[in-house]
A = this chain, B = another copy of it.
Amino acid sequence: MITVLRIGHRMPRDKRITTHVSLVARAFGADNILIDTNDKKIETTINSTCTRFGGDFKIQTGINSKKIIKNWDGTIVHLTMYGQQTDKAIEKIDRKKNLLIIVGAEKVPPWIYEQADFNISIGNQPHSEVAALAIFLDRYTKGSWLEKKYDGKIQIQPCDKGKKVISKK
């Protein structure tokens, strides 16, 4: 079970970035996303994607992130540009345990660094939490997200030019 926890989500500033974080969580193999701020719009957007494209991905907003972190039964990873290097750190994570991946928006309070079992950087240059989550999940799942089959009403078939979309009723 892989859960993504998005903290520091502010409306309207983070609307699109948090939507991208959620879609990446779904597409790259996480089971669900928890977002600290209450935001029904983002729930609707992501649930609509799940209905159309399939899968069991879940979203919940307005959660108490402190409670989630303190009571987490499993491993906690915090993605940060200040952390230890990805490839070395990933090897140490026990894959039999549940995984919570914390993805912050802007400044993250110091206690998160303390509570996390692993503070992991995707390179030590500034870039994007969307990219960091994608690369982390790609490495952690060893690329298996690419093989996942979805049962959605809309199926996209890879093609060289244009678009090949199969829509089921």
Q: Which of A69-77, A95-103, A124-132 contacts B (4 or more CB under 8 A)?
A: A124-132
Set B26, B114, B131, B164: member contacting A130, Cβ < 8 A: B131
Q: Which residues of A in the span 33-53 have a Cβ within 8 Å of any Cβ on B?
A: 49, 53
Q: How extensive is the interface on chain A, given as a class?
A: 35 or more
A124: nearest chain-B partner, CB-CB: B156
Set B84, B134, B156, B163: member contacting A135, Cβ < 8 A: B134
What B residues does A110 contact at CB under 8 A? 162
* Minimum CB–CB distance for A160 against chain B, Å: 6
Given contacts A135-B138, A138-B135, A159-B83, contact A126 B53 (CB under 8 A): yes
Set B26, B131, B162: member contacting A28, Cβ < 8 A: B131
Copies in the complex: 2
What B residues does A81 contact at CB under 8 A? 156
Chosen A-B contacts, 25 in total, with CB atoms closer than 8 Å, are: A13-B16, A16-B17, A17-B17, A17-B20, A20-B127, A20-B131, A23-B127, A26-B127, A27-B123, A27-B126, A28-B127, A82-B162, A82-B163, A83-B158, A84-B158, A84-B159, A119-B159, A123-B146, A124-B156, A124-B158, A128-B130, A130-B130, A130-B131, A134-B135, A135-B138
Residues of A that sit less than 8 Å from B by CB:
13, 16-17, 20, 23-24, 26-28, 49, 53, 81-87, 110, 113-114, 119, 121, 123-128, 130-131, 133-135, 138, 145-146, 150, 155-165
What B residues does A162 contact at CB under 8 A? 82, 110, 113
What B residues does A113 contact at CB under 8 A? 161-163
> Assuming A23-B127, A24-B131, A82-B165, what are 14 further A-B pairs, CB within 8 angstroms?
A17-B17, A20-B130, A26-B127, A27-B126, A28-B123, A28-B127, A28-B131, A82-B156, A87-B146, A113-B161, A113-B162, A119-B161, A123-B145, A138-B138
